[in-house]
Structure 1
Amino acid sequence: MIIGIGNDTESISRVAQIIERQKSFIPFILTPAERVAAAERKGKHRNEYIAGRFSAKEAFSKATGYGIGEKVQWQDIEILNENTGRPVMKIKNFPYHTYVAITHSGDQVNTVVIIERLTLLEKISVKIFPKRGVLS
């Protein structure tokens, strides 16, 4: 059962300007693993990657209704790519399925996050393996 959907659109050039002005932006928004992945990209691809992660985290905050701050921090959300390139979102202490789509077109990045309630069997699995599926 879907319990939340969030969408966000960001200007890649605006995020790039923030990166230039505020040196603390990247370490504040991205987890250490995301920073490593961003550093592997150059030029516009780096800015697209960072803007995509920022946008996805914003979309997650809209899907939950929490916002960023009180219950969930930027560092609690991590989006890394599988070998196929598909982004996978993990959230610290958040035992729900999350799905994320990130797309770039021109100077825009658009993201969608869907949150799905776990089945009874999956809930039992999370109790047995509490770190499984969530960021530790």
Structure 2
Amino acid sequence: MAVYGIGTDICDLRRIARVLERKGDRFAQKTLGPTEWLVFQHRRAREASRGLAYLGSRFSAKESFSKAIGLGMRMPMTWRACEILNHPSGQPFVRLHGELAHWFAERQLQAHVTLSDESDYTVSFVVVDTLAVTP
């Protein structure tokens, strides 16, 4: 295996809260994939701050992922084509959809993601490496 790319991002949750106030759910719907959207709604219904932290952490992780693959937010990388989900253990992982999933698989890549948050900030770190072993 070889490192393909590394990305990191820090997100100010107060900024995300202001965007949500201005744009409502449109911002979350544009940023979150289908499974993430369901988790966001569930967490926000239980406690608004938990929904905000979830949205901020996913925004940050997608920024990190886009940096690690070297595309930024250009096709085939889109907000909704990249989901940051959690295994039952709580460990986050990346699930890709559509053209982005095809692009990623074609290059035989895998992603590793970690997230952390505090009251006002969330931070993410993504390492993308190659699955292929060269002789």
- Same fold per TM (> 0.5)? yes
The correspondence for 1:115, drawn from 128, 132, 135, is 128
**Which consecutive residues of structure 2, in runs of 5 or more, have no partner in the other structure?**
none
1:19 Cα offset (Å): 1.4
The correspondence for 1:65, drawn from 58, 61, 70, is 70
Segments ≥4 residues shifted beyond 2 Å: none
Match of 1:53 in 2: 58
TM-score when scaled to structure 1? 0.83
Sequence identity of aligned pairs in percent? 32
1:115 Cα offset (Å): 0.2
Match of 2:37 in 1: 35
Match of 1:104 in 2: 117
Match of 1:11 in 2: 12
For 1:106 and 1:31, how far apart are their aligned partners in 2?
24
Match of 1:134 in 2: none
Question: Could you tell which deviates more after superposition, 82-91 or 1-10?
Answer: 82-91
Cα RMSD of the aligned pairs, angstroms, is 1.2
For 1:19 and 1:99, how far apart are their aligned partners in 2?
28
TM-score when scaled to structure 2? 0.84
**Which consecutive residues of structure 1, in runs of 5 or more, have no partner in the other structure?**
121-136
SS in 1 for 2:71: coil
Q: Deviations over 1:64-122 (max 9, x none)?
A: 120113321111101111111111112222121101101002311000011010135xx
Q: Which amino acid aligns with 1:7?
A: T
Q: Which amino acid aligns with 1:44?
A: S
For 1:110 and 1:101, how far apart are their aligned partners in 2?
8
